């Protein structure tokens, strides 16, 4: 079972693109007598999937495991074993699409600056190429 707990929008993303952090729970259950071992193995496999693919095929920025909660119970007639893996998933929404002409998200909104930056795009001619040997810092 997969469920979500909460979602927050990080500050500083008011100009269209928004970075969001979503808390996601992945729940693994088993009711067999030896279900504890199965649930533990299943939780490990879920963890390995996220470890091998931390940005979920480029759909999210990051996906970090925050917590694992285990619960094992067996009263003879009924057994319930469970593991809940909690992930913090960071992703971006309102990404501009170059294919949507005229839409609000078709272009990036540039914040108003009170100065002209001296670095970055359009300022490449101000950069100096550094050539030569290695420079050692004095002690």
User: What pLDDT is recorded for position 75?
Assistant: 75
Does residue 118 fall inside a structural domain?
yes
Report pLDDT for 35. Answer: 84
pLDDT of residue 113: 47
CATH code of 27's domain: 3.30.2000
Q: Is residue 138 part of a domain?
A: no
User: How many domains in the chain?
Assistant: 1
Residue with tokens 């009170």: 114
Domain with 33 in it = 2-94+105-123
The number of beta carbons lying within 10 Å of the beta carbon of residue 45 is 10
Q: Using CB atoms within 10 A of its CB, is residue 38 exposed (0-12), middle (13-18) or buried (19+)?
A: middle
Has residue 38 been placed in a domain?
yes
* CB count in 10 Å sphere of residue 92: 13
Q: Are 89 and 8 in contact (CB under 8 A)?
A: no
Q: For residues 132 and 13, what is the distance between their CA atoms, to the nearest angstrom?
A: 42
Contact call for residues 9 and 19 (beta carbons, < 8 A) = yes
36 against 55, higher pLDDT: 36
In a domain, 134, yes or no: no
Is 9 a domain residue?
Answer: yes
Per-residue confidence at 129, pLDDT binned at 50, 70, 90?
Answer: low
Q: Tell me phi and psi for residue 46, to 5 degrees.
A: -60, -45
For the stretch 52-106, pLDDT in tens is 887 777 778 888 899 999 888 777 778 889 999 999 988 887 766 666 666 555 5
In a domain, 132, yes or no: no
């Amino acid at each position: 079972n997969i469920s979500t707990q909460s979602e927050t929008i990080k500050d500083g993303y008011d100009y269209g693109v928004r970075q969001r952090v979503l808390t996601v729970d992945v729940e693994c259950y088993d009711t067999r007598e030896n279900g504890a071992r199965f649930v533990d193995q299943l939780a490990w496999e879920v963890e390995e999937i996220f470890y091998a693919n931390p940005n979920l095929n480029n759909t999210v920025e990051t996906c970090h495991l925050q917590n694992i909660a285990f619960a094992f119970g067996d009263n003879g007639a009924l057994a319930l074993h469970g593991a809940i893996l909690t992930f913090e998933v960071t992703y971006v929404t309102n990404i501009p699409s170059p294919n949507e002409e005229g839409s609000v998200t078709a272009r990036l909104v540039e914040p108003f600056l009170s100065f002209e930056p001296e670095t970055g795009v359009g300022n490449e001619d101000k950069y100096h190429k550094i050539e030569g040997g290695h420079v050692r810092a004095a002690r």
